[in-house]
Structure 1
C-alpha cells in the first residue's frame, strides 16, 4: 500500500491523483489497439526534439530491445488512464525515478518542456488514428478529450499552465514545434535502430517494411525528409489502401480484441508492481 501522507513530491501528491481520477472520455480513445500503429511515428516525433533524442540515444538500447520504449510508454499511458489511484501513484513514481538518471550536458528527462512535447505527440498521433478509424468527434467531445489528455503531461512534471488551454492553441504549438524541430544524429541513430533493426526477433524484422511505409506517410513532410524516409506515388497509394481497408474492418472487430493490448499491458504492469512490492 502507498500512503499519501508520506508524499513530499508535488508531482505525485493528492492533487495530481485527484485530477487523474476525473478523466472519462479519454478512455474511449486510449483503450483502442489501433493507437499502437502510431508507436513508431510518436517515437520519431518525440526524438525530433534534440533533448529527447539525446536522452533516448544515450540511455536506451533500441538495437537489442526495440520494444522497450513502446512497452514502457503504453504501460504508463494505460495505467495513468485506467489504473487505480495507488497504481497510478506507483507508476508515476517509477517513471520519475527512471527519469532522474537520464540527464547529461544540455538535456534532462525531467525537463518539463521536453515532457510537454512527449505528451503532445501522444495526443496528436492518438487522436489522428482514432478519428481516422471512427470519424471526427463533435466539437464539445473533442475539447473534452483534449483537456483530459493533459493528465499525461501533468503526471510528467508539466505544470497546468504549460498545456495549451484548447485545441486551437495546441495546434499552434504543434505547428511551431514541427517547423522548428532539428533531427540530429542522435535522432537518426535511434530511428535506424527502430526502423532497420537487424538484431530484432524475426517476427519483428518481417514487419519492419510495413512499419517504415506507414511511419513515413504519417510523418510531416519536413521530418520525413530529415529522417531520410522515402515516399512516392506508389507508397502513398499503398498507404491509402491499407488505411482504407483498416478503416473498413477495424471498427467491426469485437471490443475484446480491440482492447486486448490495454488489458495485456495492465496485467503486465500489475505483475511487475507485485514483484516490486
Structure 2
C-alpha cells in the first residue's frame, strides 16, 4: 500500500485485478458505448475474438495513462483515434454512436478513475483530502490519453461528483448488451476464442469471477444488470477483500512493475514498427 498516494498509479492494489470486468460493465452501460462494442467490426481488437491481445492493449493504454511520458501518450492518442474511426453505427444500429465521440470517451475515463479510487478505498478506506485532490488532478490523463480535451475533465472532485450523479441517475442496459456483459462477468465467452481451454477457464473461475464482479459494482450498475446481492454476499465480499489486503501487503510495487513491463512492450513495438492496437 502507498500510504500517501498522489498519483493514480499509487492506488493500484491486488483487489484491482478482480475489478476489471465490473469497470467494463460501468463503461458499457450507456447504449452508445454498449452497442458500439457489441456491434464492433474491428475483430482484431475484440475481447470476444482475441482476449489475450485485448488484455495486453488495455494494459498498455492504462500503463501509458498512469505512468507513461508525453511521447507515449501522444502515440496512444493517435493510434486509438485511428482504431476508433472504424467503430461507428450503421443504419441498422439501435442507437447512433461513434467511438471517437468525446462525450463517450469522457464517460469511459470517468469510470476508469473510479476503478482506481474504488480498489484503493475498498481496501484501505477513504483517501485524505490532499491525496484525493492530487490523485484526481493526475487522473485527468486517463481522459487526455483517450482523446478527451483537458477542459472537458470536471474541474475538481466536487464537479466530478455532480457529473457522476447526473450520468448514473437512471441506468438501463438493453438485453443484448446485458447478455454480452454477463458473458464477460462469468467468463462464458471464453470457449468461443479459446476452445477447450476457454471452457476449462470458464468452469474453474467463472462463478468466482461473477461474484467478485457483482461485489465491485456500485449498486446502480448492479441493479441495471439485474444482479442479486444479499447481506450474506456482502459479508463474503468483505472477507475476500481482507484476503486481498493481506496479498497486497506482501507484494508492494508488483503492479507498478507490471505497468513498467507494459510500457516496455509498447516502446519495443513502436521501435520495430510492430502494431500495438
Q: In which range does the TM-score fall when normalised by the shorter chain?
A: 0.7 to 0.9
Q: Secondary structure at the match of 1:144?
A: helix
Q: Is the 8 A contact 1:115 1:153 kept in 2?
A: yes
Whether the 8 Å contact between 1:66 and 1:193 is mirrored in structure 2 is no
* Cα shift readout 1:100-123 (whole Å, capped 9, x = no counterpart): 111114000000110000000000
Matched residues, number: 252
Relative to structure 2, which stretch is displaced further, 208-217 or 229-238? Answer: 229-238
Moved more, 258-267 or 50-59: 258-267
Query: In the alignment, what sits opposite 2:22?
Result: 41
User: Structure 1 residue aligned with 2:267, among 253, 270, 277?
Assistant: 270
Partners of 2:248 and 2:47 lie apart in 1 by 32
Report which stretch shifted further, 120-129 or 62-71: 62-71
Match of 1:26 in 2: 8
SS in 2 for 1:103: coil
Q: Is the 8 Å Cα contact of residues 188 and 227 (structure 1) preserved in structure 2?
A: yes
TM-score (norm 1): 0.81
Structure 1 residue 52: deviation in Å? 0.7
Unaligned runs of 5+ in 2: 1-5, 91-95
**C-alpha distance in 1 between matches for 2:203 and 2:169:** 32
Residue 134 (structure 2) aligned to one of 141, 144, 151: 144
Q: How does 1:40-59 map to 2 (within 5 A)?
A: 40-59=21-40
TM-score, scaled relative to structure 2: 0.81
Q: Does 1:75 align with 2:63?
A: no
Query: 1:15-73: per-residue Cα shift (whole Å, max 9, x none)?
Result: xxxxxxxxx7233225x454332210110001101111111111154434345544322
* CA offset digits 1:180-226 (Å, max 9, x no partner): 23212342132133123251523355222111111112223232233
Q: Does 1:156 align with 2:146?
A: yes
Question: In the superposition, relative to structure 1, how do residues 220 and 82 fare at CA in structure 2: closer, same or farther (>3 Å)?
Answer: closer
Contact 1:48 1:183 in 2 (8 A): yes
Provide the C-alpha distance between the structure 2 equivalents of 1:78 and 1:148, rounded to a whole number of angstroms: 13
Aligned Cα root-mean-square deviation (Å): 2.3
Q: Which 5+ residue runs of structure 1 have no aligned equivalent?
A: 1-23
Contact 2:89 2:98 in 1 (8 A): yes
| Cα shift at 1:82 | 2.1
Q: For 2:225 and 2:53, locate their aligned partners in 1 and report how far apart those are by CA, in whole Å.
A: 21
Moved more, 170-179 or 154-163: 154-163
